[in-house]
Structure 1
Amino acid sequence: MKPAPKQIKSSKRKVRRFLLPLAFCLLPTTVCLTSHSPLPAIAQTIDARKAEADRLFHQGKQQYQTSQFQTALNSLQQALQIYRAIKNRYMEGWALSGLGSTYHSLGNHTQAIEYSQQQLIITREIKDREGEGAALNNLGRSYRSLGNYAKAIEYWQQALQIYRAIKNRYMEGWALGNLGVAYDSLGNHTQAIEYSQQQLIITREIKDREGEGAALNNLGDAYNSLSNYAQAIEYGQQSLAILRQIKDREGEGAVLGNLGIAYGYLGNESQAIEYIQQGLAIFREVKNREGEGHALNNLGVTFLKAGNPTEAEKMLMDSIQVWESMRQLLGSNDANKISIFEGQAHTYRTLQQVRVAQKNPIAALEIAERGRARAFVDLLTQRLSPSSANLVVAAAPNQDQIRQIAKAQNATLVQYSIIYDTFEIQGKHTSRESALYIWVIQPTGEITFRQVDLKPLWQQHKVSLANLIIGNQEFLAVRSRSSLGFAQRQPDLPTLHQLLIDPIANLLPKDPNAHVIFIPQGSLFQVPFPALQDTNGTYLIQKHTILTAPSIQVLDLTRQQQQKLASQPTSGRGNALVLGNPTMPQVSLSPGKQKKALSPLPAAEAEARAIAPLLNTQALIGAQGTKAAITQKMPQASIIHLATHGLLDDVHGLGSAIALAPSGKDDGLLTAAEIFDMKLQASLVVLSACNTGEGRITGDGVIGLSRSLISAGVPSVIVSLWAVPDAPTAELMTAFYNNLQKQPNKAQALRQAMLTTMKTHPQPRDWAAFTLIGEAE
């Protein structure tokens, strides 16, 4: 298939823009062959069947080119069946390519990837370099649409090498253009311009008008990102003229959208709306759902800027409907749902702004909830109930259901949402945090809204909320179970309290045993809520019992997990599983570094030995704590406590791991990806290790160990937000289990353990790292 002409990327105001559309590029020549000499009957039959397959193949290609995608699928599937029956591997590969492209155009990227992977296997097997390049290109295109730009670049670089090796200048140009788009999406606009300029040179040299139009559009998009709108419009108008001349409707729609964005940045909203509406009409005409969704989003943003929130709301709701229909096509593929949502979350944030501007903050809460942890909700819903096995997208809760969840939890829920706007700074439009929305839902169901202006943070203090949080975490890190070096000074916890807690302090319960459940978003997942300090120096944990959750709906689902566990006979569950200081595996703590054994943790061993009798079990220590032994015991354990090293993967998330003793051929690392596929019966898992609550922060929450454990069936998880110190952590955990024996409320037991540890270790880095996610009881 011909490469992905330009796709979607973030603009400075969190809108998206497009590359040119994908053209259907299967086999570049006619493949129907007829022999004029007599042939045996079986050969004649094979030739006849191949001729029929070729006819169906080219019919499918024509149907694709005229946006008849469903009929194209039917033609190509029939062609594929015949090619497989007559064992024509070459054309089987190209039929798979056609199916992959068609599913891509329908927004079904899971199917597109599956067909492209099948094509890649065949082309490598038969050494069809042209087909291999096409398969790699299509895989890159699909992953780009899912927002996984790093993976897209990996595939496109491989495709580029092949096209250069076989001297296919046409496809070399498209591969360069695709790489330019991916780098632009990652914010590397200089690299994007370099690749697009190379594409432009090639396309003009070989007179590829479609490619020339794509290259000009890509250049315009990159200059848009650099706030050079005059240059962006100049390239866009050149591209538009070419694409209209060659009647490339999909490409025309993309360029019109990009021109609209440029005019919007220049303050000409009426011209921007006109261009984007023209692009929207084209995307609907050619049935490009992805283009339609982004055009609707861009119209919503522009109408809001133009002071028309009513029309903005309509456009954004239509955009959300497109996004949700696209996610539905991904079926139960959790990773792809997470990835694609990264390119869609901005629409939900903008609609929250619109509804707040309309003085309807409770409706904004519904959208805030609808725009977070959606893949997680779908996954938990499917795993909780066999009757929901065919469910692909779970419905988000409305305001009445949100009130019911707060009542069922008997807790005060605090939901945060970070809002972004675009500001002109030193002549460039830059996206910055502009406001913090906070909703407090009382156990009675009453909902109160507060808004915090974040602009003074970066305007006066030259720091963002995200940087403030990261800075606090760096100050809290100590030499510990991850050997991360000492903090140099105390964190600025009062400033975080002022931003996050002061606006709602009068809405929080007066009873310190009453539960407060914080529902963060983005960088707020890294906030140590227990350690936030008011102007009197009082820590939040001294006034409140604290839990966290990725969304209100996830809270409802973890409660269902807890109820499901409680309804099952305990005879199927084994004793508690307690591990401390296993024989450490060898790991490389940074790329290219030699593997070294992690340091032993004598306090973790003492911790496990102290806790095990409280849970009526024997601690697994040293060589006993092998990965094989632990993974065998975990599915039956009633409580799981692992005191060891934790390894953080904040790039992919699922590589985050717990260090265990290696045995046999395993490396001793139990990863989030491996836990994700487990089925656990534990009511509580405590990861008494470093950074176990962290991972890759996405619109779906934190992708890491905690998410995997809840996905595996655990309703309550205790994890850490930084590199915890060895000795104080052992004290805290021993106190936690002692408290749990007296009071079976996990949140209150953790609070009391923090208060106890605080007396002997007053610094918050020693006691505030752990957070309870999910259920308290």
Structure 2
Amino acid sequence: MASTLLSLGLFAASIGVSASVVLPVLGQEGRSFSAEKETALKEAARLNQQVGQLYQQGKFNEAIPLAEQALSIHKRILGENHPDVAASLNNLALLYQNQGRYAEAEPLFKQSLELNKRLLGENHPDVATGLNNLAGLYQNQGRYAEAEPLFKQSLELNKRLLGENHPDVATGLNNLAGLYQNQGRYGEAELLYKQSLKLRKRLLGENHSLVSTSLNSMALLYWSQGNAGDATDLFTQGLQIEERNLDISLTVGAEAQKKSYLATIAGTTDATISLHLQSANNNPNAARLALTTLLRRKGRILNALTDGTQRLRQNLTPADQKRFDDLAAVRTQLATLYYSGLGKLTPEQYKDRITQLQQQATQLEADLNNRSAEFRTQSQPITLEAIQKQIPADTALVDLIRYQPFNPKAKQSEQWGKPRYAAYTLTPQGTIQAIDLGEADAIDQLVAKFRRLLQSSNIDPKPVARQLDALLMQPIRTKLGNTRQLLISPDSQLNLIPFAALVDEQNRYLVESYAITYLTTGRDLLRLQTHSPSRQPPIIVANPDYDRPGDPNSTAQLRSSNSPIVAQKSIQPISPSQRRSGQRSTDLATLKFDSLPGTAAEAKAISPKLPDAIVLTGSQATENALQQIQSPRILHIATHGFFLQDFPSLTPNKTRASALPLFEGTSTAPAIGLGENPLLRAGLALAGFNPRKSGTEDGILTALEVSNLNLRGTQLVVLSACETGLGDIANGESVYGLRRALTLAGAETQLISLWKVSDDGTKDLMVKYYDRLLNGTGRSDALLLTQREFLNDSQYRHPYYWASFIPSRDWRPLNLTMGLG
């Protein structure tokens, strides 16, 4: 049997506090079988390949039935006594272990180990793997006395089989050190960690991911001993390597792959924040490391997608496009080498190949930096100094994070605590200020209650708004001094509330005291320094005729544009009509719409303020027309918006996926079914929506399609509709909905809504907003002043009317003098 071993570090890939484990990916058996049996074995191999991929993504629930099926096939075709059966037993045991199902995992690990000993002999790499995995299980259970001899046996066996100078030996040293650390045998652990680190640097190079694992492991060791200073220094080195490798990994693969990889290092994000807030809150280096890590990783997937190669290539010369292609190829090779291991290479060949590719990448990056301002902006290192320079005077960046506290002194099964919120503030000249805000569950419950109250104009939300403010913003205000301009980067459920509607100790809404703009991440401040020219005048889309098919000639006014980029999408079947008038929104069962006369009045009032605007209403307001746009200066869309909470699967009887953590207790992305994109569950209704005919489209502009619009150079997008700021919540990654789609499309600023808005009230708010905006008031201040005016109006003083819309990203005035590019 030729089996390939895929080494996966559970905690080792994140913070390095537990043993690396090995997941076999089965090869083909050497003897001949009937065609039927050969087909079955190929299917088992395919299943195990899927198991390996799902394991890496932390999707253990999805992997278990596939592993069980592969095991059943191998037993049926090969019998009970075969190495491939042993490997399948091991696979299934690993999955059970990572779900905490230790009692089910242990007998499978033992069966696999004994079977390999009997079939392959005591001196075989698969036996070393089995010893390591069983030891790891005992370590997770706190059965340290049983784990130690097994780790030692595995280490000695690898030394004998592979030699003293091999990466697997370094992993064995790291594993045994982790066990000693758990036992409080710090001196012995430190010696082994140092040996492992030295060996990995020599064999794999200074910037390999396993080197960062060793550094992070030693950081935890010093943290456990109360040495926060050395722990911070080692974490800084380890995370610098992770950042370098993250840059490489996020340049390749689909979004799901990027999310899966980022999840493997989520533990170090939580650990650095925990180190600062819980053990070193007076250490400026620990504060600096925590905030730097937060700024680098929050919203990282969104940035990686926004900086996609296709958009960059559009702005490069043909020669530079070739350099960019070459750089992408080199990064792909590097990513493959980092995470596939030695393969057939010797350690020397492996290290030489990585060094060669790193040098090629560095040279290509330098060439592109010299020739492309946009590439230079997007590839520059993220530092506190760079971001601090972009914070305006008298303004504070408030970066909120939902994190999981980590305690290295606790038993391994108890090291991760309940999620909490924290806030970091940064001003142009001031030092970093940070505060732990408390358990996330209590805050999230108030957030949900606050949102419900805001959506009814008949209920006073102030008592709950005050309770939430006391937990959330009151502690932050103690760090702000006299600062009244806030750039807030929310996280998790906090993305769904208007901070302006919170109530302070004087029973005043925050809108009365603070000007607030929302960012996905503090890194937005760097990205906003690069501007693209607009290519079209403002475009206003309003009052679509939902009942009649959209005009296929609706693109006549946009004929100067290039051909549209059309996204793949799913067409939602029509449910029984439950019409709702006077609100710009929909529920899951509401897939037909009545007209919104307020949007017609809105367009009529706004269009004279934009004399060169293209106005598309009635049957002209089609999906086709919107897909034709090319970087209009302003895009204003007034229509019904929707966010579907529960999207029925397109594949019958398909179970929704559960995205579980790669290591115990760490938050990951939300559960999103395979093949189901959350950007398909948010969108806008256009002409022909009810009969599903809008030009050559169906009248449903999903967020996925919005993400493919060309809005680079669009200074402002106003979605004058309901719930356009909603979507699936992913911790650290903003909201998967229209706001994410608009960022991907390149819009500089968004004005989006958080609940079902009033038709007439929204029209009045938009007219006043544009009056101020076109008089030179900033994109955020124009909304702020309008909200304050509404607050003093007896008709609109309830936050239901004025707080739904929030400004996101660039807060500065429009450049009304900039011509079209």
Do they superpose with TM above 0.5?
yes
Give the TM-score of the pair, scaled to structure 1: 0.70
Paired residue secondary structure (1:518): strand
The 3 A distance-change label for structure 1 pair 423 and 301 is closer
Query: Which runs of no fewer than 5 residues in structure 2 stay unpaired?
Result: 329-377, 550-571, 585-595, 608-613, 647-669, 673-677, 814-821
CA contact (8 A) 1:574 1:636 kept: yes
The 3 A distance-change label for structure 1 pair 736 and 746 is farther
Q: CA deviation at 1:531?
A: 2.6
The 3 A distance-change label for structure 1 pair 574 and 13 is closer
Q: CA deviation at 1:719?
A: 3.3
**Residue equivalent to 1:468:** 442
**Residue equivalent to 1:631:** 627
CA contact (8 A) 1:648 1:656 kept: yes
**Residue equivalent to 2:292:** 366
Which one of the candidate residues 496, 510, 516 is aligned to 1:546? 516
Question: What CA distance in whole angstroms lies between the structure 1 residues aligned with 2:235 and 2:158?
Answer: 28
| Structure holding more helix per residue | 1
Deviations along 1:449-475, one digit per CA (max 9) or x if unpaired, are: 333245xx4xxxxxx22x133212321
**Residue equivalent to 2:107:** 197
The 3 A distance-change label for structure 1 pair 748 and 343 is same
1:269 and 2:186 aligned: yes
Paired residue secondary structure (2:390): helix
Counting only pairs closer than 5 Å after superposition, residues 483-494 of structure 1 correspond to structure 2 as 492-494=464-466
Question: What CA distance in whole angstroms lies between the structure 2 residues aligned with 1:153 and 1:677?
Answer: 36
The 3 A distance-change label for structure 1 pair 147 and 202 is closer
Matched to 1:498, the amino acid is A
Which one of the candidate residues 539, 545, 553 is aligned to 1:575? 539
Q: CA deviation at 1:639?
A: 0.8
CA contact (8 A) 1:406 1:413 kept: yes
Question: What CA distance in whole angstroms lies between the structure 1 residues aligned with 2:574 and 2:97?
Answer: 35
Which one of the candidate residues 396, 401, 407 is aligned to 1:412? 396
**Residue equivalent to 1:141:** 52
**Residue equivalent to 1:556:** 526
Deviations along 1:192-223, one digit per CA (max 9) or x if unpaired, are: 65246334324423535654554554454445
Matched to 2:742, the amino acid is L
Question: What CA distance in whole angstroms lies between the structure 1 residues aligned with 2:700 and 2:296?
Answer: 35
1:658 and 2:683 aligned: yes
Matched to 1:366, the amino acid is T
The 3 A distance-change label for structure 1 pair 527 and 480 is closer
CA contact (8 A) 2:693 2:699 kept: yes
Q: CA deviation at 1:405?
A: 1.0
Matched to 1:677, the amino acid is N
Q: CA deviation at 1:406?
A: 0.9
Counting only pairs closer than 5 Å after superposition, residues 433-448 of structure 1 correspond to structure 2 as 438-442=423-427, 445-448=428-431
Counting only pairs closer than 5 Å after superposition, residues 109-258 of structure 1 correspond to structure 2 as 129-131=40-42, 133-142=44-53, 144-145=55-56, 159-160=70-71, 163=74, 166-167=77-78, 169-182=82-95, 184-185=97-98, 188-190=99-101, 194-195=104-105, 197-205=107-115, 207=118, 210-211=125-126, 213-222=128-137, 224-226=139-141, 229=144, 233=148, 236=151, 240=155, 247=162, 253-258=170-175
CA contact (8 A) 1:651 1:696 kept: no
**Residue equivalent to 1:9:** 10
Q: CA deviation at 1:774?
A: 0.6
Question: What CA distance in whole angstroms lies between the structure 1 residues aligned with 2:803 and 2:72?
Answer: 51
Question: What CA distance in whole angstroms lies between the structure 2 residues aligned with 1:13 and 1:290?
Answer: 10
Query: Which runs of no fewer than 5 residues in structure 1 stay unpaired?
Result: 32-123, 458-463, 586-592
1:400 and 2:378 aligned: no
Matched to 1:564, the amino acid is S
The 3 A distance-change label for structure 1 pair 222 and 6 is farther
Matched to 2:90, the amino acid is G
CA contact (8 A) 1:338 1:699 kept: no
Give the TM-score of the pair, scaled to structure 2: 0.66
Q: CA deviation at 1:643?
A: 3.0
Matched to 1:555, the amino acid is L
CA contact (8 A) 2:197 2:211 kept: yes
Question: What CA distance in whole angstroms lies between the structure 2 residues aligned with 1:282 and 1:663?
Answer: 65
1:718 and 2:701 aligned: no
The 3 A distance-change label for structure 1 pair 658 and 695 is same
Question: What CA distance in whole angstroms lies between the structure 2 residues aligned with 1:599 and 1:473?
Answer: 29
Q: CA deviation at 1:20?
A: 3.0
Question: What CA distance in whole angstroms lies between the structure 2 residues aligned with 1:127 and 1:225?
Answer: 38
Q: CA deviation at 1:301?
A: 1.7
Matched to 2:711, the amino acid is L
Question: What CA distance in whole angstroms lies between the structure 1 residues aligned with 2:264 and 2:625?
Answer: 41
**Residue equivalent to 1:51:** none
**Residue equivalent to 1:431:** 416
Question: What CA distance in whole angstroms lies between the structure 1 residues aligned with 2:630 and 2:390?
Answer: 30
Question: What CA distance in whole angstroms lies between the structure 2 residues aligned with 1:450 and 1:718?
Answer: 29
Q: CA deviation at 1:549?
A: 1.0
The 3 A distance-change label for structure 1 pair 337 and 13 is closer
**Residue equivalent to 2:371:** none
Q: CA deviation at 1:556?
A: 2.5
The 3 A distance-change label for structure 1 pair 581 and 272 is farther
Q: CA deviation at 1:487?
A: 10
Paired residue secondary structure (1:710): helix
Deviations along 1:102-138, one digit per CA (max 9) or x if unpaired, are: xxxxxxxxxxxxxxxxxxxxxx999855455445534
Paired residue secondary structure (1:718): strand
The 3 A distance-change label for structure 1 pair 125 and 3 is same
Question: What CA distance in whole angstroms lies between the structure 2 residues aligned with 1:319 and 1:240?
Answer: 24
Q: CA deviation at 1:280?
A: 4.1
Paired residue secondary structure (1:412): strand
Matched to 1:342, the amino acid is A
Which one of the candidate residues 575, 594, 611 is aligned to 1:596? 575
Question: What CA distance in whole angstroms lies between the structure 2 residues aligned with 1:415 and 1:666?
Answer: 41
Paired residue secondary structure (1:421): coil
Q: CA deviation at 1:699?
A: 3.7
Question: What CA distance in whole angstroms lies between the structure 2 residues aligned with 1:554 and 1:735?
Answer: 27
Matched to 1:612, the amino acid is A
The 3 A distance-change label for structure 1 pair 555 and 453 is closer
Paired residue secondary structure (2:298): coil
CA contact (8 A) 1:522 1:699 kept: yes
CA contact (8 A) 2:496 2:725 kept: no
Aligned-pair Cα RMSD in Å: 4.7
The 3 A distance-change label for structure 1 pair 144 and 752 is farther
**Residue equivalent to 1:48:** none
Question: What CA distance in whole angstroms lies between the structure 1 residues aligned with 2:26 and 2:411?
Answer: 44
The 3 A distance-change label for structure 1 pair 151 and 763 is farther
Question: What CA distance in whole angstroms lies between the structure 2 residues aligned with 1:276 and 1:242?
Answer: 19
CA contact (8 A) 1:341 1:699 kept: no
1:675 and 2:709 aligned: no
**Residue equivalent to 2:761:** 731
Question: What CA distance in whole angstroms lies between the structure 2 residues aligned with 1:530 and 1:323?
Answer: 37
**Residue equivalent to 2:302:** 376
Question: What CA distance in whole angstroms lies between the structure 1 residues aligned with 2:425 and 2:232?
Answer: 24
Deviations along 1:348-386, one digit per CA (max 9) or x if unpaired, are: 454464685533344653343233333434444553673
Question: What CA distance in whole angstroms lies between the structure 1 residues aligned with 2:697 and 2:291?
Answer: 46
Q: CA deviation at 1:240?
A: 4.8
Q: CA deviation at 1:151?
A: 6.7
Question: What CA distance in whole angstroms lies between the structure 1 residues aligned with 2:202 and 2:22?
Answer: 13
1:341 and 2:376 aligned: no
Q: CA deviation at 1:189?
A: 0.8
Q: CA deviation at 1:2?
A: 3.9
Which one of the candidate residues 746, 749, 768 is aligned to 2:782? 749
CA contact (8 A) 1:3 1:23 kept: yes
Between 149-158 and 497-506, the greater mean CA deviation after superposition: 149-158
Aligned length: 648
Question: What CA distance in whole angstroms lies between the structure 2 residues aligned with 1:496 and 1:559?
Answer: 34
Question: What CA distance in whole angstroms lies between the structure 1 residues aligned with 2:701 and 2:517?
Answer: 25
Question: What CA distance in whole angstroms lies between the structure 1 residues aligned with 2:48 and 2:137?
Answer: 21
